[in-house]
Structure 1
Amino acid sequence: MELFFANPENIQADEIILDDFERKHALNVLRKSPGEPLAVTDGVGNLFRTTIISEKPQVRLKINGREHHPLPRPKIILAVGFIRPNRLEFILEKGTELGVSAFYLIQTVYANYASGNTGRWQKILRQAMKQSLQYYLPQVQVFASLHDFLTSSEFCTLRLAAIDRNHPLLLDVLNEQFNAKPESVCLAIGPEGGFNPEEVDLFQEYGFHAVSLGKSRLRTETAALSGISIIRQFIH
């Protein structure tokens, strides 16, 4: 199935209008034409079964049916210190494909970067959502410090921070904590250089379990995807 995306504001009671990016993909890449079916999501859990009714000046779709898919539980949240833009974008893309619901990007002590192209991030998230046939577009939030992030993380039921090899393995902590399935799981990954001692203390103060991802020293993007993959084992 080829999945398309439509902003909720472009969805009416019985009709959808595709934006320019999706229109080009449908007409120029896939060579779709009036009368053909399209599957469309709004990024908030809804799947629409539609038929193309016109292609000029806009691609208009008739809604034939709709399904709502609840957000998978537990919700997976990935908090990561800023790293090089291309590596951060890799995390956004692959993390979305692995089912991450929200990305929290943090300016930590050892982070060498503090911003990015948010418009490009949204395109990456959208494409990854469609590629993996998911119906929820992940959220992205930026925090100016670890303290700012931690004071906003009350919603997260199970809190995990990858610190170093001297702490319990993530696998073991999940085995202990998943006796009662949490509503949400937050995994925090440091930038190159990891977290400094004061940040580690802050994590503990706010109820995060310090965990290890194994003996090897991993790049931030490798650590993030490794941790998310381990968490997925316990969800599914």
Structure 2
Amino acid sequence: MKVATPFTPCRIATVLLVVSVSMILIFQSELTATLQAIRHGTCSRVESPRDPYFHPRTFPDVTPLEDLGIEGDQAWDKLTTRKGGFLWLQYNETFDIPWGISMFHGLHCLQMLRGELQSQMGLSNGEHHHHKREIATKSDGHGDGADIVHIGHCLAYIAEMLQCVGDSTIERPWIKTNKISGYITGHGIDGAGVQHQCRDVSHLWAIAEDTEQSAARMWDHKPGDTVESVFGDL
């Protein structure tokens, strides 16, 4: 049996960095809209203001997604549907099989990494995130927890998603100056207060929730198929 590589402080720091950066870059809502706003849009690349799928959104300074405790668990739960955001299809007359929707797949990866971070930091047993995906991935071979292969897959998948989305928003840095001399004493980029063009993903939620209730029929799948190309705008 293959022995999993133990977590080291370096690996823990890497996971923490990836989760922190990813939470800034992906799927955040306005603080004033609180948790309900999270399910209505995700950050994407800049498009024409006339594109009906996109709308402006300013990233908040603080979001419940940053919390690694119970409040954060509740916020992360609201990012996906009851069964994890799958597209359920009729495999045959007696069996339905889940297909993935890329946005929810990426969110699952972040949830998994967050759970591992919680576990390594002693904040929880790291199992909170598993219940939704286990509904559809009972035979995925990952067992009760995430192994090093699953972690590597999710890091790579998030990197691919960020490059695919290609958000080209220019983020102004924060600058700290000396009040007397006026010299710059510090600066950085955290993405807070920056307006992005974000995608309305309510139709992704709609199709996932609809097929959780009644699986959709299989279609002649082609490479590059999307929810919109197959099911329309809903």
For this structure pair, what is the TM-score category when the shorter chain's length is used for normalisation?
Answer: under 0.3
- TM-score, normalised via structure 1 length: 0.26
Higher relative contact order (CA 8 A, sep 6+): 2
- TM-score, normalised via structure 2 length: 0.26
